[in-house]
Amino acid sequence: MNDQCKTLKTIAFAIVFSSFLFGTAETTWAHDHKASHSHGKDHAHKDLKKGDSVEKDQTAQANSSKDLKNSDVVINVNGMVCSFCTANIEKRFKKEKAIKDVVVNLDEKKVYLSFKDKGSLSDKQITSNIKKAGYNVVSIERN
Amino acid sequence: MRIRGMNAFVRTYIVIPLLLSLWAIFPSQAHLVSYEGGSEVMVESMGSMRTQVSAIYSPKWWLGTGLVYDRLQSDYAQIEGDVYSAQVAVLLKRWNLAEAQGNLYVHFAPGYLKNSFLAEESTELIFKYGARADYETRRIYVAAEYFSILGLEDENKNKNLIDSFALSLGVAPYIAQYEDLNTWFITKVMWQEDFKRVDVFPTARFFFKNVLWEVGQSLKGESLFSFMMRY
C-alpha cells in the first residue's frame, strides 16, 4: 500500500511537472533570451523585453528565419527527430575551422551553415559531416 | 504545443494529463553509439536492482566502445556483485526518415564478475550481450531490448545470470525545438525470465542540449534515476 502511494505520488508529480512545462513552453519557445545563443545571428528577438507579448516574439522568430535564409548553406537532412542526438550535427560542424555558425531547425529539418571569411566546405565535406553525425543529407542549397 | 484553438488552461491542466494517464508512456534508453569522434558518460540507478556507470567513445558513427560498471543485486539477478566489462555496440542499421528515425543495435561486452552473493567472494569471467531496436518521431518513442549476462566459469558456466527483455514506450507532451528543454514520459516494462519478475517503470525524461536526465519509480517502489552527458 505504501509503495502504491509512493508510485501514485511520483506519477502525480510527473504529470503536474510536465503540465507546468507544457503550460510555459509556448512562452519559452524562442528560448531564454538571457541564455547564451549558440548561433550568434542578429536576432530581432534579442530585443524582447520582459512583458512583451508572445506574438511579438513570434514575429521576431519569423525575422530570424529570414536571417537564417542569409546563411551560406542550407542542408536538408532526414532523421532529425531528437535534439539530444541532433546536437551531434552541431558538434561535428563546429570542429571545422571554416564554420562560423551552425543552426539546426527541427521543424524545417534543415541545418544552416555560415562560413568564416574565405572559409567554405564542399558538398562532399558537408555530406561527410552529416553522415558522421549519423544522419542523411537530402539536398544542399547554397546561397 | 501543437494543439491550437484550445483554451490553454484546459489543455494544460486537464486534457494533457488525462491523455498521459490514458497512454502509458515509455522511455528512450540512450543510444548505444554517439557520433563519430563523440563520447558520452552515463549513470543509471534502478533502486536496489541495478546501478550502471558507463563511458562510451564512438570511433565511427555506427560503433560505440567503452567501459561499463554494473552493480547487480540478487533481487534482479541470480548473482550479486560488481561486473566490469568492455563494451562494443554496433549500429547494424539506421533508418533516417523525414519524420522519424529507427535503429537496430547489437552489443556485447566481455568482462568479469566479483560475485558477493556467496559467503565467500569469488571472481569469474562473464560475457554480456544483447540487442536493441528503437523507433522515434518527435512525438513518440518505442524500443525493445534484450539483454543477458552469460557465465563463463565454474558452476555458472553457460548459465544466463541475467536474462531480461524490456519494452519501452514514450510520448513527448509537447514538440520541443532544438534549443528547448525536451520532456518525455516513458514507461518501461522489464521481464526477468528466470524469476518471472515484471517491473514497470513510469519515468519522466528530460534533455537539454547535450545533457539528459531521467527520474521515475517502478510500481513496486524501486526508484530510477539516470544522467547522461554527451560531448
Q: What is the pLDDT of residues A23-79, one digit of tens each?
A: 443 333 333 333 333 343 333 333 334 444 444 444 444 434 445 667 899 999 999
Rounded-to-5 percentages of helix, strand, coil across chain B:
10, 60, 30
The burial of B1, by beta-carbon neighbours within 10 Å (0-12 exposed, 13-18 middle, 19 or more buried), is given as: middle
Q: How far apart are CA A13 and CA B217, in angstroms?
A: 11
How does pLDDT run across B146-202, given as a tens digit for each residue? 989 998 887 778 888 888 899 999 999 999 988 899 999 999 998 886 667 888 999
Q: How far apart are CA B198 and CA B166, in angstroms?
A: 10
Q: Which helix (H) or strand (E) segment is A126 a member of?
A: helix A123-132
Q: Which helix (H) or strand (E) segment is B70 a member of?
A: strand B63-72
Chain A contact for B104, CB < 8 A?
no
Give B109's strand partners.
Answer: B128
Residue A139, phi-psi category: left (phi > 0), alpha (psi -120 to 50), beta (remainder): beta
A46 or A84: which leads in pLDDT = A84
The burial of A131, by beta-carbon neighbours within 10 Å (0-12 exposed, 13-18 middle, 19 or more buried), is given as: middle
Chain B contact for A86, CB < 8 A?
yes
CA distance A118 to chain B (A): 26
Q: How many CB atoms lie within 10 A of CB B200?
A: 16
CB B119 within 8 A of CB B155: no
pLDDT value at residue B72: 83
> Would the CB atoms of B1 and A25 count as touching at under 8 Å?
yes
Cell of B189: 516494462
How does pLDDT run across B31-72, given as a tens digit for each residue? 688 899 999 999 998 877 788 999 999 999 999 999 999 988
Residue B216: is its pLDDT beyond 90?
yes
Cell of A138: 537530402
Cell of B52: 550502471
Name which of A14, A38, A134 is nearest B94 (Cβ-Cβ).
A134
Strand ordering across the sheet containing A110-115: A99-105, A110-115, A73-78, A136-142
Instruction: Note the pTM of the prediction, 2 decimals.
Output: 0.73
Q: What φ, ψ does residue B154 adopt, rounded to 5°?
A: 50, -140
Give A97's strand partners.
Answer: none
Q: What φ, ψ does residue B68 adopt, rounded to 5°?
A: -130, 135
Name which of B11, B217, B231 is nearest A10 (Cβ-Cβ).
B217
pLDDT value at residue B118: 66
pLDDT value at residue A20: 45
How does pLDDT run across B117-149, given as a tens digit for each residue? 666 778 889 999 999 999 999 999 999 999 899
Q: Given the DSSP bridges, would you call strands B122-136 and B50-60 parallel, antiparallel or unpaired?
A: unpaired
Residues 198-227, chain B: which have Cβ within 8 Å of A? 202-204, 207, 209-210, 212, 215-221
Distant-in-sequence, close-in-space partners of B174: CB < 8 Å, separation ≥ 6: A21, A22, A25, B1, B2, B183
Distant-in-sequence, close-in-space partners of B71: CB < 8 Å, separation ≥ 6: B50, B51, B52, B81, B82, B83
pLDDT value at residue A117: 87
> Would the CB atoms of A134 and B1 count as touching at under 8 Å?
no
First-to-last alpha carbon distance for chain B, in angstroms, is: 29
